[in-house]
């Protein structure tokens, strides 16, 4: 590639960053980074009913969390700003005026009610319901009459008659749109606001985008934007339309499938590097069977040649498996630092040194950071056995727990090796194997039947608190 690649992610944020949007942002970011290019974040916020400052804040926070830094955009600036469409209306007015002055756009005086009536009539005839071009054929007298009565108007782009549109999509290959499938479209609404087709297209031109990588649901907008660029005498970017992301039922991924927001995964203990890795494989193949690919490797390998034509299925279980792999790859110090916020959010006051010491004993059991509080709660607060823990205690009775405390009390070097010997002695005297003998002790001390390995748990808890909890559970 001889020119500098310029890619953009241009969402209309409405509360959270959908994983489909995150995948689009990621593919643009990877393409730009792979080619040493520029990644731009642009906020399409012309729909004031949907896009709020808070939604933009959530978008930026999610992007930062994923590590998708932008070279131009909100908070960063750049030579092509501003990067919010509500601050670019003058640019759109200039482009609309250029289209109108060149005879490529005309005023449309049709009311919403008239348009709907004609659509219904077209459907009844079995015809396509698109705009019928009525205002394109107005006489000067009819146009003057509408103007004199002060009727509102929208600006419509005039599709060149008889023009098929073809282009080569970098993912989907050659595309052909027949002339009769394209209808005149609105570029400026009657309230003066630009439509997506105008604003997004003009921004791509003015910001020098070389590649527009977006979801295939936007493919139908491409031939119309290409004709608009031609009318503006501008060279278009290259297009790549990404396959859809589906839910397990093969329907388009949506809220009804469960978690679809990047924020949800952050709040529930998924690592950003795991989510980035997983999203990268939704519709793209690195060319090998590898699945765990660090960010640097993704950048080195990514290109549009590996993007599939076919939809990808979002599998939360597969993501969770991958997240567990990433957790196990963390150093004890890093894992401890990432667990601390989750422990604090659970109302605990964690000690970083203790959490670090616990890290190697929990990482093999964890799939998400959200699992840290239930496993480590016993270290930072008094516990009450849950239902399963009470059942385990009742199976052996209080005398067993009292005897276990007696076996542990003489241990002077409170290390796991010495603790194991005392625990095994108590179990053997009761005729229990290690599994059945250790489980009620775990239940009494941690309040649950799931914890880090028992000897290490008792070592971390300390002798005094261990004995106190065993004697309390024994009724002493």
Instruction: Spell out the domain ranges in the chain.
Output: 6-74+245-313, 88-242, 330-379, 387-473
Q: Is 436 in the active site?
A: no
pTM (2 d.p.): 0.93
Q: What is the pLDDT of residues 278-313, one digit of tens each?
A: 999 999 999 878 899 999 999 999 999 999 999 999
Rounded Cα distance between 26 and 4, Å, is: 18
Classify domain 387-473 at the CATH topology level: Arc Repressor Mutant, subunit A (1.10.10)
CA distance 219 to 228: 15
| pLDDT tens string 52-100 | 889 999 999 999 999 999 999 999 999 999 999 999 999 999 999 999 9
Task: List, in order, residues 6 or more apart from 454 with CB less than 8 Å away.
Answer: 423, 438, 441, 442, 445
Whether the per-residue pLDDT at 1 is higher than 70: the answer is no
Handedness of CA 174, 289, 301, 282 (dihedral sign): positive
Quickly tell me which residue has 């479209």 as its tokens: 185
Percent above pLDDT 70 for the chain? 99
Computed over every residue of the chain, the mean pLDDT equals: 95
Q: What is the CATH number of domain 330-379?
A: 1.10.8
Helix intervals (H) in 216-271: 221-231, 262-267
pLDDT in tens, 107-158: 999 999 999 998 888 888 888 778 999 999 999 999 999 999 999 999 999 9
Domain 6-74+245-313 has CATH 3.40.50.620: yes
pLDDT, position 353? 97
- pLDDT tens-digit readout, 313-343: 999 999 999 999 999 999 999 999 999 999 9
Phi-psi sector, 410: left (phi>0), alpha (psi -120 to 50), beta: alpha
Write the pLDDT tens digit of every residue in 17-53: 999 999 999 999 999 999 999 999 999 998 777 888 8
Residues 6+ positions from 379 with CB-CB distance below 8 Å: 350, 351, 354, 358, 457, 460, 461
255, 318, 395, 415: the catalytic one is 255
Does position 3 have pLDDT exceeding 90, yes or no?
Answer: no
Residue whose tokens read 């509102």: 152
Cβ atoms of 422 and 454 within 8 Å: the answer is: no
Query: One fold for both 6-74+245-313 and 88-242?
Result: yes
C-alpha of 465 from chain center? 43
pLDDT grade for 476, boundaries at 50, 70 and 90: low
pLDDT digits (tens, 9 = 90+) for 363-412: 999 999 999 999 999 999 999 999 999 999 999 999 999 999 999 999 99
- Per CATH, the architecture of 88-242 is what? 3-Layer(aba) Sandwich (3.40)
Instruction: Average the pLDDT over 422-438 and give the result.
Output: 95
List CB contacts of 328: < 8 A, sequence separation 6 or more: 363, 364
Contacts of 324 (CB under 8 A, 6+ apart): 366, 367, 368
């Amino acid at each position: 590639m001889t020119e500098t690649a310029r890619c953009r992610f241009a969402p209309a944020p409405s509360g959270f960053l959908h994983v489909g949007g995150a995948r689009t942002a990621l593919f643009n970011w990877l393409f730009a980074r792979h080619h040493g290019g520029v990644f731009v974040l642009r906020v399409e916020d012309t729909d004031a009913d949907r896009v709020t400052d808070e939604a933009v804040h959530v978008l930026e926070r999610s992007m930062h969390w994923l590590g998708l830094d932008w070279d131009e955009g909100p908070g960063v600036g750049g030579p092509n700003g501003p990067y919010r469409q509500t601050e670019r209306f003058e640019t759109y007015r200039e482009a609309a005026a250029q289209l109108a002055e060149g005879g490529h756009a005309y005023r449309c005086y049709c009311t919403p009610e008239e348009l709907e009536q004609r659509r219904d009539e077209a459907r009844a005839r079995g015809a396509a319901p698109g705009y019928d071009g009525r205002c394109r054929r107005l006489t000067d007298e009819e146009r003057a009459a509408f103007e004199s009565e002060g009727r509102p108007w929208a600006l419509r782009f005039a599709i060149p008659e008889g023009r098929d549109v073809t282009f080569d999509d970098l993912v989907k290959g050659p595309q052909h749109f027949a002339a009769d499938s394209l209808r005149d479209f609105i570029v400026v609404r009657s309230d003066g606001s630009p439509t997506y087709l105008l604003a997004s297209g003009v921004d791509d031109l003015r910001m020098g985008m070389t590649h527009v990588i977006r979801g295939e649901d936007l493919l139908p907008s491409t031939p119309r934007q290409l004709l608009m660029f031609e009318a503006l005498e501008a060279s278009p970017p290259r297009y790549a339309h990404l396959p859809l992301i589906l839910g397990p039922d093969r329907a388009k991924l949506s809220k009804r499938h469960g978690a679809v927001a990047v924020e949800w995964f952050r709040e529930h203990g998924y690592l950003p590097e795991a989510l980035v890795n997983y999203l990268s494989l939704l519709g793209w193949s690195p060319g090998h069977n590898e699945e765990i690919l660090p960010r640097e490797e993704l950048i080195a390998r990514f290109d549009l040649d590996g993007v599939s034509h076919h939809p990808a299925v979002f599998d939360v279980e597969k993501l969770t498996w991958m997240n567990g792999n990433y957790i196990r790859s963390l150093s004890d110090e890093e894992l401890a630092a990432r667990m601390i916020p989750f422990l604090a959010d659970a109302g605990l006051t964690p000690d970083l040194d203790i959490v670090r010491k616990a890290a190697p004993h929990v990482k093999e059991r964890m799939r998400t950071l959200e699992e840290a509080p239930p496993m480590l709660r016993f270290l930072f607060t008094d516990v009450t056995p849950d239902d399963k823990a009470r059942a385990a205690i009742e199976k052996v009775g209080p005398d067993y727990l009292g005897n276990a405390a007696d076996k542990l009390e003489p241990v002077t070097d409170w290390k796991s090796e010495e603790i194991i010997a005392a625990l095994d002695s108590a179990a053997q005297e009761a005729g229990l194997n290690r599994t059945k003998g250790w489980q009620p002790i775990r239940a009494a001390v941690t309040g649950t039947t799931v914890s880090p390995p028992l000897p290490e748990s008792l070592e971390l808890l300390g002798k005094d608190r261990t004995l106190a909890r065993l004697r309390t559970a024994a009724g002493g």
